[in-house]
């Protein structure tokens, strides 16, 4: 690997899925993995195979579906975990096992109940065992941010000797500050004698809103892999957001001496896919992927003062994929075009009947809405799964699209299905409003969505979900132009 390449390691499917309420099915994980592969993410952490049979199958399915990215499975430093990961990754064209053990005094004493010497020994054994399955092995000293530096150096030197090719330093609890964390990475690289034999990586959490700042500080101090997630999804306050890390490095090439190999035009489509599948809305003012992230454009246009784009823009909306959100199909599109486009999105129909059902919904929609976007198609397929009796109905909330001058629109919100829930409702009408409105609700009522429109439907939707515990109203709204509120 050349020194100026920054490896992007996406853990949306593993750490991201650990966000409460963000669990994904195997097929959904494969769809996201395909989108990440299209974006040319270097490494996709697909799951934690030993955690459950479902996780195992998901990692296996991703390993089989992805060819251009390395597929990674997580494993504690235990034989059974590593063997399970190795097994799940068998179909992969390129695989990596990521094993970890805690190295901070508090974790070693309270959680592992192990002496430091034992921890070193177990880490080394784990790396050696992982090397039986693949020569691409990553090791993480968990809670490194609170570990003692001498001990950390000792563990890292030992695992590199044992064959670890990537050493990942996690700030597991999101406690570090950027200058501190950068210093830590620099110190480790300087002090560990064999540090040149491994890539140093970081994994930062956002408990203080510093995940991206800490990651970038580490990169400036020699880290050459960043672990991150789409939309910053992840445990608690989340992980470093992939889109922010990647676009900062790209935009500030005057500062960074490395670059990523990503196709950044896939960022927005990927963000929307993840948001649609998990039901986690992207806040409107979120950097890069929020609907307002490039909204200043319209103001400039209105005033007619667009003399120089660079005056107000440090990035171009189309470079991160806002323009990729193009019209893909219309009412005259045929079944083949429909199927082909969905295949491109990583969606395949198991039966002709599924295809036909989705296609007929597409025709209904195309009658009402002239411009059909990729997100609309994904929503149709989600509905298709719904009618086939899948046990999950997923949130499919996507924001309007004011940044690009296209007509804003949204997609229906879907919730987890609850079979015995009596007040589930079918969304009606051709506005996405139908998606969020409980069936007893009147406009302007407690959950009046119009009032909350700009806060995003999801906020309301999540309230519903929580208010009803396990049984949120399944939403099956259709898609239509959104009404601009004032
Ligand atoms: Zn994490």
Please say which residue of 240, 262, 284 terminates a domain. Answer: 262
Ligand 1 centroid–CA 174 distance in Å is 9
Do 318 and 225 fall into the same domain? no
Do 231 and 310 fall into the same domain? no
Give the Cα separation of 205 and 210 in Å (integer): 7
Q: What is the pLDDT of residues 12-64, one digit of tens each?
A: 999 999 988 888 999 999 999 999 999 999 999 999 999 999 999 999 999 99
CATH of the domain at 223: 3.20.20.70
Ligand 1 centroid–CA 320 distance in Å is 25
Ligand 1 centroid–CA 382 distance in Å is 28
Q: Please list, in sequence order, all residues whose beta carbon lies within 8 angstroms of the beta carbon of residue 486, skipping any fewer than 6 positions away.
A: none
Question: Rounded mean pLDDT of 174-181?
Answer: 94
For residue 268, tell me if it sits in a domain: no
Give the Cα separation of 246 and 311 in Å (integer): 22
Ligand 1 centroid–CA 212 distance in Å is 13
Ligand 1 centroid–CA 435 distance in Å is 33
Question: Rounded mean pLDDT of 85-104?
Answer: 97
Ligand 1 centroid–CA 336 distance in Å is 41
For residue 231, tell me if it sits in a domain: yes
Is the confidence at residue 182, as pLDDT, over 90? yes
For residue 441, tell me if it sits in a domain: yes
Ligand 1 centroid–CA 439 distance in Å is 39
Ligand 1 centroid–CA 42 distance in Å is 18
Do 136 and 195 fall into the same domain? yes
* Banded pLDDT at 292 (limits 50, 70, 90): confident
Do 311 and 358 fall into the same domain? yes
Domain that holds residue 213: 7-262
Higher pLDDT, 362 or 436: 362
Quote the Cα angle for 9-16-113, to 5°: 90
Do 246 and 369 fall into the same domain? no
Is the confidence at residue 441, as pLDDT, over 70? no
Ligand 1 centroid–CA 69 distance in Å is 21
For residue 483, tell me if it sits in a domain: no
Ligand 1 centroid–CA 475 distance in Å is 32
Angular region, 104: left φ>0, alpha ψ -120 to 50, beta rest = beta
For residue 52, tell me if it sits in a domain: yes
Number of domains in the chain: 2
* Banded pLDDT at 403 (limits 50, 70, 90): very low
* Banded pLDDT at 156 (limits 50, 70, 90): very high
- For 404, how many CA atoms within 13 A lie in the half-sphere containing its CB? 23
Ligand 1 centroid–CA 225 distance in Å is 15
Do 409 and 338 fall into the same domain? yes
Do 112 and 246 fall into the same domain? yes
Do 224 and 78 fall into the same domain? yes
Is the confidence at residue 7, as pLDDT, over 80? yes
Do 251 and 386 fall into the same domain? no
Give the Cα separation of 101 and 269 in Å (integer): 35
Q: What is the pLDDT of residues 471-484, one digit of tens each?
A: 222 232 322 222 22
Do 458 and 395 fall into the same domain? yes
Ligand 1 centroid–CA 205 distance in Å is 6
For residue 221, tell me if it sits in a domain: yes
Higher pLDDT, 474 or 236: 236
Do 108 and 159 fall into the same domain? yes
- For ion ligand 1, residues whose CB falls within 5 Å: 15
Do 228 and 301 fall into the same domain? no
């Amino acid at each position: 690997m050349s020194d100026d390449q920054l490896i992007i390691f996406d853990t949306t499917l593993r750490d991201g899925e650990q966000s409460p309420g963000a669990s994904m099915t195997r097929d959904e994980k494969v769809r996201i993995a395909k989108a990440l592969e299209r974006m040319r993410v270097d490494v996709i952490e697909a799951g934690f195979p030993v955690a459950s049979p479902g996780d195992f199958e998901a990692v296996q399915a991703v390993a089989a579906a992805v060819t251009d990215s390395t597929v990674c499975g997580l494993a504690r430093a235990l034989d059974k975990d590593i063997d399970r990961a190795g097994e799940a990754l068998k179909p992969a064209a390129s695989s990596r096992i990521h094993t970890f053990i805690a190295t901070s005094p508090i974790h070693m004493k309270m959680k592992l109940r192990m002496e430091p010497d034992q921890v070193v020994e177990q880490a080394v054994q784990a790396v050696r065992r992982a090397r039986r399955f693949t020569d691409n092995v990553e090791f993480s000293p968990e809670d490194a941010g609170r570990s003692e530096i001498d001990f950390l150096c000792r563990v890292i030197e030992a695992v590199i000797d044992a064959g670890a090719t990537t050493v990942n330093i996690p700030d597991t609890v999101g406690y570090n500050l950027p200058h501190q964390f950068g210093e830590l990475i620099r110190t480790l690289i300087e002090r560990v004698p064999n540090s040149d034999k491994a890539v140093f990586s970081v994994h930062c959490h956002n408990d203080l809103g510093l995940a991206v700042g800490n990651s970038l500080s580490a990169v400036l101090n020699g880290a050459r892999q960043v672990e991150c997630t789409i939309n910053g999804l992840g445990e608690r306050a989340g992980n470093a957001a992939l889109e922010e890390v990647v676009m900062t490095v790209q935009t500030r090439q005057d500062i960074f001496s490395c670059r990523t190999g990503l196709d950044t035009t896939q960022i927005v489509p990927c963000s929307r896919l993840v948001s649609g599948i998990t039901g986690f809305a992207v806040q409107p003012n979120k950097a890069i992927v929020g609907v307002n992230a490039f909204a200043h454009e319209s103001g400039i246009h209105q005033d007619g003062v667009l003399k120089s784009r660079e005056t107000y823009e440090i990035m171009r909306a189309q470079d991160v994929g806002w323009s990729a959100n193009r019209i893909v199909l219309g009412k005259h599109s045929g079944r083949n075009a429909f199927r082909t486009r969905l295949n491109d999105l990583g969606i395949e129909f198991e039966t002709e009947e599924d295809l036909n059902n989705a296609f007929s919904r597409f025709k209904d929609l195309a009658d009402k809405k002239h411009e059909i976007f990729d997100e609309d198609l994904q929503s149709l397929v989600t509905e298709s799964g719904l009618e086939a009796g899948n046990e999950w109905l997923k949130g499919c909330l996507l924001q309007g699209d004011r940044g690009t001058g296209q007509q804003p629109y949204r997609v229906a919100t879907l919730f987890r299905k609850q079979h015995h829930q009596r007040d589930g409702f079918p969304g009606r009408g051709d506005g996405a409003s139908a998606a969020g409105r409980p069936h007893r609700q009147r406009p302007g009522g407690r959950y009046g969505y119009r009032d909350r429109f700009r806060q995003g439907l999801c906020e309301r939707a999540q309230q519903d979900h929580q208010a009803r515990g396990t049984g949120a109203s399944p939403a099956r709204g259709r898609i239509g132009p959104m009404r601009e509120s004032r």
